[in-house]
Structure formats: structure tokens, C-alpha cells
Structure 1
Amino acid sequence: RAAGPAEAAAIKVMGGAPVSMRITQVAQSLHRGVIQGTFNGWSALQSFKITPLIVTHVDMPFGVRGFFYGINGKVFDGLSGKIKAAIRKNTGMHVSRKFGGMNEARGARYRKDAAKDPKRNVIRPSAADQAGYRKKFQFLYDKWVTDRPNGQAKLNAVLKFRAEYRKGS
């Protein structure tokens, strides 16, 4: 299961045949044999009841998935000052870090549980193997850069932000 074109390309590189579908369709599709695997983080496996249908997990950092909550500007403008203040108080980097930390903690717990389960195989590729995959996936970065104006500058900004975020700054 691939959520989008980048994941589909990564699955192809690994020798798979990507099938595009919503996360809410994955459990049923695995159960019926429509797909043989899914490209997800640990938390999604639990949240969408996929875990009982998966026996082997390949645990490696394939990327970062971004989430956001949005509100239409006109709708926001029509809210009371008190509600706007509450929204502003509960947005920004501190909220991002909180959700990121919660997601990371859940993922670590699910990863640990899977590793202890004798019915599951958790495969963690070596650092050398992961470096090899990074080289195989480099074309995704290259395509992203060439497909948008100022792509390299934008990618550099994202990579810098990610590095600073991971350091805790």
C-alpha cells in the first residue's frame, strides 16, 4: 500500500508493486489478500487495526510524514477573540514537539511489543544497508528538487529545519 507517489516509487525500487489506497482500506485489503504489505509507521499499524494482520515488520527510517490542522481564513476571522486565542495558544512548535514526542513514544512501545512477540519478525537493516537504500532513494529528492521552482533552496531549508527540530532547537 502506497499513500502517494513518493511511497509508490520507493516500493518499486524495493521490487514491490505499489497499490494506492487510503489507510482506512489497508486492514480489509490485507485480510482479503488484495495487498501483501503496507508502508506505515508503527502508530498507524495500531490505530487502524493493521497489527494483527502483519507478521514481518521492516523497521527502518524511510522518511518523515507531515501532518497539519488547518482552518479556513474566513472561518477563523469569524471566531471570537477567546477562541482565536485558544487556537493560537495550542499551535506552533511546542505543539508539534508534543505530538511528535507522543507519536515517537507510541511507536517505540509498539516496536518493542512486536519484537517481544514470538509470532512476529522485526527486521532492522544494518546501517550499511540503510545507507544503500538512501542511495537508491536519492532520485526522489532529485525529482522533487527539479519539479519545483527554487527546489534545492526549499529542500535545503526543509533539511535544516528537520536537523534543528531533531536537535531540539
Structure 2
Amino acid sequence: MFQRSLMAGVALAAMTALPAAAEPKITLKLSHFLPPVHGIHTDFIKPWAEDLKQCTDGQVEVQIYPGGTQMGGVANQQEQVLAGVVDIAHGLTGIPRGRFPRTSIIDIPFLVADAGVASRTLWKLYPEYLKPEYRGLKVLALHAHNGGVIHTRDTKVTSMEDLEGLRIRTPSPAVSMMLEELGAEPVGMPPGQVYESLQKGVIDGTVFPWDPVKSFRLDEVLDYHLDGGVYTVSFFFVMNQRKYDSLPKGVRGCIDSLSGDALVARFGDWWDKWDQAGLDAVKAKGNEITELSDEERARWREELQPMINRYLESLKAQGVENPQEIYDAAQKYVSEFSN
């Protein structure tokens, strides 16, 4: 009897001496389409994952799948998150086409040329105008790049006449319509295929901001650059809503604190840094850079206005009831944030 009591006491003492059960470890899969050398990976995605681990005291580990990996295809980012193949993804809203028609309004030429202003405008538009496009997704950030540049291999472009017949890689429907209106032949393709396509003469040029010139080594296959800041392109950073809802409250709080307003506000400075690296690469090679003249810019604006009207009208067929209202709101916020 005494022995049984002693053993019970020892067992009880051992149980009370055990530490409280640790929180279960959580692994989240995050994919994006850019190479690991790009600033999106080095300055944004990787530090974001590390900050989430630190905020959760090591409870959350993020596995990152960049471009070039099995989950890094540019056309698959949204569907991978919705299907639960990955938990979080960063992708281009224009590839594949037609999935984010409301968001694509930010891509309309001459609307905005500053990444910070464009990103804040998108985030301001999201709750009232863009949210229906992201069903099933927890939107962590929307953003855009600095004004795009027309990069060409053999033909120097300074006017719309110089674009006539050139095959130019395009990132989104709005930019495709812009190029077509200016006389070029838009060719849709993922960013990762541009180098080889330029090298083999499949395309004559591409539209990008400066940053991919460095990260995709395009300075090696380009000679001319027309810097006009005529358009931008938008991106999403999203999480599977069901996965988010299933996480402990503290983890959700950490994700929220690292996303939204605080994250969107950083893209302006980030993109200036990334663009500078691309511009430096072009200058180091000795490529020719031309600024779009004020006179030519005015011509482009006049030429592209009918295209802008057609583009907005075309969105109605894609289920956007109020494209002009969204465009007007975007113009208002661009003006507001620019000042």
C-alpha cells in the first residue's frame, strides 16, 4: 500500500515537473515567379518569412518556392493558393489574362508612373472596388512597379513610328492594347522566356521597368531603351483564406502586422532600389537610353485616349459593372498620393 502510494507520488511529481506543452510547429508554403536574385525575393519575400518566424517565436516556418522551382510558374500563382497547393503566393495580375479585370485598371497608360503611388492607390481601391476579384483569398498586399521602359534589341525607338511592326513582349491586356495602338505587335510571354526570345529574334523588344534588366540579365541581349514611364503593372501577395482562418490567433496577428498598410508603404523605396540596379547594368554595358520627349508624350496621350476608352468599355463584358467609376477613383487617389 505504502509502495503504491510512493509510486503514485513519484509519478505525480514527474508530471508536474514537465514543462507546458509547446505550441505545435506550423509550416507555410510560399511561392513566387521571380528568380532568387530579384529584390522581390531578397528584400521582400525572404525577410517577410523571417519576420513571421521571429514574430511567432519560431512557431511558423515558411518554405519559399521562387521562380524556376516546381511551384514558381508565373501563370500558376493564384490557382496554387486557391487549391491549397501553397499557402501564400506573389504573382502578376495580368498573367494569365482576365482574372483581375478591376485591378488591371491601374495598368492603363499615363495613369501612374511611381511604384509607391501606384501601390497605395491599389490598396486604397481594394476594399470598395477590387475585393470581389479575390474571393477565397486573404489579400496581404497589392502593389505595382515604377513606370515601364520600352527596351529593344536592334531598333532605337524614340517615337510611335519607330514601334511600327516591332514584336514587343507584353505583361497585361492594357499594355497589349497600348502597344497595338502605337503600331507594335504585342507578344504575351512570361518574364523568364524573354532573354531567350530576344536572343533568338523571336521578339524585337520588351516592356519592363528597369529592374528585370538586371535580375533576368537582359542587358546582355538589349541595346536601346526608351524611358517614358508610360504604364505600370500590378502584383498580388495573397494567402489561402481557409488556411489563414485555421491558424492560431497569435499567428494571424503576426501575419496581419507584417502585411497591409505597413507592407504596401515599402514598395516605393524598394522599387527605386531595384530599378537602380537595372539602370546601372545598362549604363555599364554602354546601351543607349532615350527619354520620351514632351512633344512625343503629348502625341502618345492623344493617340491612346480612344484605346483607354475602349479598354474600360471592354471590362464590362468581363463582369465589371463600373469600370469608369474605378478609373476615376484611381485617378483621384493617384493625384492625392502624388501630392
TM-score interval, normalised by the smaller of the two chains: 0.7 to 0.9
Distance apart, 1:109 and its partner CA? 4.6
Where in structure 1 do 4 or more consecutive aligned residues deviate above 3 Å? none
Is this contact kept in 1: 2:214–2:277, CA < 8 A? no
Equivalent in the alignment of 2:307: 140
What runs of 5+ residues in structure 2 fail to find an aligned partner? 1-168
Q: Name which of 153, 160, 164 aligns with 2:336.
A: 164
Alignment of 1:1-169 (within 5 A): 1-111=169-279, 114=282, 116-117=283-284, 119-146=286-313, 147-148=315-316, 149-167=321-339
Equivalent position SS for 1:18 = strand
Secondary structure at the counterpart of residue 225 of structure 2: strand
Check whether the contact 1:76–1:84 (CA below 8 A) recurs between aligned residues.
Answer: yes
Note if contact 2:226-2:291 (Cα within 8 Å) is conserved in structure 1.
yes
| Corresponding residue SS for 2:310 | helix
Could you say what secondary structure the match of 1:62 adopts? coil
Work out the CA distance in 2 between the residues paired with 1:157 and 1:27.
37
> Under a length normalisation based on structure 1, what TM-score does the superposition of the two structures give?
0.87
Larger-gyration structure (1/2): 2
User: 1 or 2, which has the higher helix percentage?
Assistant: 1
Number of residue pairs matched by the alignment: 166
Task: List per-residue Cα deviations over 1:44-77 (Å, max 9, x = no partner).
Answer: 2222222211110011112122212011211110
Backbone CA RMSD of aligned residues: 1.9
Q: Is contact 2:170–2:206 with CA below 8 Å preserved after alignment?
A: yes
The superposition leaves residues 73-98 of structure 1 with CA deviations (integer Å, 9 ceiling, x where unpaired) of 11110112222112111222331221
The TM-score with structure 2 as length reference comes to 0.46
Q: Which runs of 5+ in 1 are unaligned?
A: none
Partner letter of residue 150 of structure 1? N
Distance 1:54 1:103, change over 3 A: same
